[in-house]
Structure 1
Amino acid sequence: MKKVLVTGMGIISAIGENLSENHASLRQGKTGITAAAHFDSRYAALLPFGEIACSNERLKEMLGLQDSVGYTRTDLLATKAFDEAIKDANLSADQLSSFDTAFISATTVGGMCLTDQLYEDANLKTSGSEYLESYNCAAHTITLLEKYNIRGFSDTINTACSSSANAILMGARLIRSGRAKRVIVGGVDSLAKYTVNGFNSLKILSASACKPFDENRDGLNLGEAAAYLVLEAEDVVGDKRVYAEVAGYGNANDAHHPSAMSDDAIGAMLSMREAIESAGIGFNRIDYINAHGTGTPNNDEVELTGMSRLFEEIPPFNSTKSYTGHTLGAAGAVEAIFSILSIVHDEIFPSLHVETAMSSHKAQPVAALIQDKKVAYALSNSFGFGGNCTSLVFGSVN
């Protein structure tokens, strides 16, 4: 079976406009959760968000899209991260257009980030705006397909918070099965009234910076991000730089509740077990876990329950959502990149804002930067609404 190697990465999030800036913020323990400057909502003055500092105008300028029409913020963020990833992997125009190259992206909000404009257009309150073709879930995917002349297999996944983790899983399966030589995978979500109002109705948004795995955690912060990875089959990589291997993956669904996980951690345990077993390693080989860690009472309790039942001793773990907020459809790819950074640089980044350890579990997240720690295998968890749980194992190539 072919190895699946990561040869390129691109990211924009609340803690940086590119890969190097994100890495620097993680090492410095610098959170991006703060008051929103660009997000137009009544909640912008009431709640903190993991908002990207760039305005839409600046993003267009950075991308040379000043004269473009129909680009939503979702499209702009996706283009920024995608462009960095393919340049990082040194993909040529011919390789991008090859039928052996696939593209799988993920999102939950898509073009609905323009919530008010969508409402006005849908209810014929305008004469028709430039965004009429921009609202659907796959709009950003189509934009990238056209911009980069991608002709191979493409898909857009929405499985809530596990969306881009499933894009990585599917991309790896395409390569392992010989259906593609390379697959660009990842996801994007931007802040939107649609999601903020929805999560607020669930009463799970925190009025302060989220504190995953803290005894007094009271909810999550929504964020926005885009992140993409270039996956390539080992037989086409040649002498390229390789970040890591996609060593294993698992997906399960506990079908317990529309927005909560099973208290027994059934789906979480199944996805973690399948990912580790498919990597062909034992549980004791996992050196680090990037937890889903949303900061909600249910998620953190269930995730720790699952980890404690699978591992004799839970490896060092953190929640990088304390830096970026919960970026929904982008979260799996964002945290995959953060996990790979831990592998490449032999370091584990601290979880932020933890003040009081959870009383129900002995294990606590990493509190300070750990350096010179060999991370041969990292497990990254992404658990979505409806109980759609995905876990990925990344392995060192050195």
Structure 2
Amino acid sequence: MNRGIAITGMGLISSIGNNVEENLASLTSNKTGISRITQINTVHKNDIMVGEISQTNDMLEKKLGLAPNSYSRTPLLGIVAAKEAIAQAGISNIKDCKTGLISGTTVGGMDKSEQYFYDYFESDDHWNHINGLHAGDSTQKIADALGLTESFVTTISTACSSSANAIMLGARMIKAGELDRVIVGGSDCLSKFTINGFKTLMILSDTYNTPFDENRKGLNLGEAAAFLVLESDEIVLRENKKVLAYVKGYGNANDAFHQTASSENGDGAVLAMEKAFQTAGIEPSDIDYINAHGTATPNNDLSEGRSLIRIFNGNVPEFSSTKAFTGHTLAAAGSVEAIYSVLALQNNIIYPNLGFKTPMSEFDLVPETILKHKEINTVLSNSFGFGGNCSTLIFTKEA
């Protein structure tokens, strides 16, 4: 039986809160973070709705003591979340054991590189932002801010499953003895490139997203950063650490169906969940709550719904998607919802699937629509990315 990897700290900033506590308050009071665009000058600002963080880059830089216009938004958000996680874990010396950082992102420094793109051949004044386009740059900036200058630092960019895969890799590295502690998660900000890209796919909603509803119109893009501190049993025992929850199981698979769509029957999702159950050493019947990927696109909700029916043999536990609160935060989604899963365990609650009214015609699945109190010991969280990359995480109260 897998003992699980201890989670000792969590940090989060999203459109519904600037820290973990504020996010929980929003989740339990039906406070959505979906609104019209205010911080990006895009021609689509009146066409779509997003999950936008209210703090500007200037505000974040001042909060972190950084020079104006020095960092793109992705690492700014990431540093805020990672520092909160480290503080909760009570880490005063981040170099006291083998510590690493695994961060997921898709946007990277795109918000700044697109801003100065047309100056590329005219001036070197903003070369730092042009060079900060790639995904690894944001991870390195987060690592530098945490003092992880000579540690294992890497980036995962598997689209919307990125930070879920970061958690999985971190758990595996601790289990293998490669690391004693690892900060895992992801960060993504809104950018014109992202908005335009999803707009061409015709899957953005002009109103609030409604996961698993027959009349869903598409997703709301969101921005967020979320990180968790994973630590080995030895560190937990040595420092008498409080354990928030455990990473019990994980699985990753690819249905190799389409560049941006999931297979209609959820083949990759089924494989990922099967692997997660195998790793955890538990059965589907042990799951008390499912935090679904639930993007509110026609394809995703159909594919995921069918995969849940298959893996649970028609007896699907209570489930909901929290993306109606935050929007789809892309690479950060897996770690955002990992923290929501841990909060569900700690508080014995199931979050409402906001906006749901009409069951889908293809099957008889109805998510939870009001906040529900229930004894919860095991939570399954799904994250599915473009390219068919499917990941499942299982969290438990006990090791």
Structure 2 length as normaliser, TM-score? Answer: 0.96
Mapped to 2, the partners of 1:42 and 1:80 lie a distance apart of 30
Query: Who is 1:160 aligned against?
Result: 159
Q: Are 1:3 and 1:233, in contact at CA under 8 Å, matched by a contact in 2?
A: no
Q: Are 1:99 and 1:152, in contact at CA under 8 Å, matched by a contact in 2?
A: no
Query: Who is 1:111 aligned against?
Result: 109
Q: Are 1:120 and 1:126, in contact at CA under 8 Å, matched by a contact in 2?
A: no
Query: Who is 2:122 aligned against?
Result: 125
Query: Who is 1:193 aligned against?
Result: 192
SS state at 2:34 partner: coil
Per-residue Cα deviation, 1:346-381 (whole angstroms, up to 9, x for no partner): 00110101121112221211010001x111110000
Mapped to 1, the partners of 2:72 and 2:36 lie a distance apart of 22
SS state at 2:256 partner: coil
Superposition deviation, residue 58 in structure 1 = 1.3
Per-residue Cα deviation, 1:220-267 (whole angstroms, up to 9, x for no partner): 010000000000012211322211100000000011000000112110
- Distance 1:138-1:118 versus aligned 2 partners, 3 A rule: farther
SS state at 1:97 partner: coil
Query: Who is 1:12 aligned against?
Result: 13
Query: Who is 1:25 aligned against?
Result: 26
SS state at 2:303 partner: helix
Query: Who is 2:85 aligned against?
Result: 85
Query: Who is 1:317 aligned against?
Result: 319
Query: Who is 1:138 aligned against?
Result: 136
Per-residue Cα deviation, 1:1-51 (whole angstroms, up to 9, x for no partner): 663110000000000000000000000111100112212211122211000
SS state at 1:117 partner: coil
SS state at 1:164 partner: helix
SS state at 1:394 partner: strand
Q: Are 2:289 and 2:376, in contact at CA under 8 Å, matched by a contact in 1?
A: yes
Mapped to 2, the partners of 1:219 and 1:225 lie a distance apart of 19
SS state at 1:141 partner: helix
Mapped to 2, the partners of 1:348 and 1:118 lie a distance apart of 44
Q: Are 1:97 and 1:148, in contact at CA under 8 Å, matched by a contact in 2?
A: no
Q: Are 2:140 and 2:153, in contact at CA under 8 Å, matched by a contact in 1?
A: no
Mapped to 1, the partners of 2:10 and 2:318 lie a distance apart of 24
Superposition deviation, residue 118 in structure 1 = 4.3
Mapped to 2, the partners of 1:247 and 1:22 lie a distance apart of 24
Query: Who is 1:101 aligned against?
Result: 99
Amino acid at match of 1:182: R
Amino acid at match of 2:322: T
Mapped to 2, the partners of 1:45 and 1:64 lie a distance apart of 34
Q: Are 1:243 and 1:397, in contact at CA under 8 Å, matched by a contact in 2?
A: no
Percent of paired sites with the same residue = 47
Q: Are 1:121 and 1:132, in contact at CA under 8 Å, matched by a contact in 2?
A: no
- Distance 1:355-1:3 versus aligned 2 partners, 3 A rule: closer
Amino acid at match of 1:361: F
Amino acid at match of 1:195: T
Moved segments of 4+, more than 4 Å: none
Mapped to 2, the partners of 1:85 and 1:325 lie a distance apart of 22
Query: Who is 1:40 aligned against?
Result: 41
Q: Which runs of 5+ in 1 are unaligned?
A: none
Superposition deviation, residue 54 in structure 1 = 0.7
Mapped to 2, the partners of 1:45 and 1:114 lie a distance apart of 22
Structure 1 length as normaliser, TM-score? Answer: 0.96
Amino acid at match of 1:144: I
Q: Structure 1 residue 76 and structure 2 residue 73: aligned?
A: no
SS state at 1:138 partner: helix
Query: Who is 1:257 aligned against?
Result: 258
Superposition deviation, residue 61 in structure 1 = 2.0
Mapped to 1, the partners of 2:188 and 2:111 lie a distance apart of 8
SS state at 1:295 partner: coil
Mapped to 1, the partners of 2:180 and 2:97 lie a distance apart of 9
SS state at 1:163 partner: helix
Amino acid at match of 1:77: L
SS state at 1:249 partner: strand
Amino acid at match of 2:33: G
Per-residue Cα deviation, 1:73-130 (whole angstroms, up to 9, x for no partner): 112101110110100101123xx235610110010000012253242244x1333315
Mapped to 2, the partners of 1:2 and 1:363 lie a distance apart of 32
Q: Are 1:5 and 1:245, in contact at CA under 8 Å, matched by a contact in 2?
A: yes
Q: Are 1:27 and 1:349, in contact at CA under 8 Å, matched by a contact in 2?
A: yes
Query: Who is 2:205 aligned against?
Result: 206
Mapped to 2, the partners of 1:53 and 1:251 lie a distance apart of 33
Mapped to 1, the partners of 2:68 and 2:207 lie a distance apart of 37
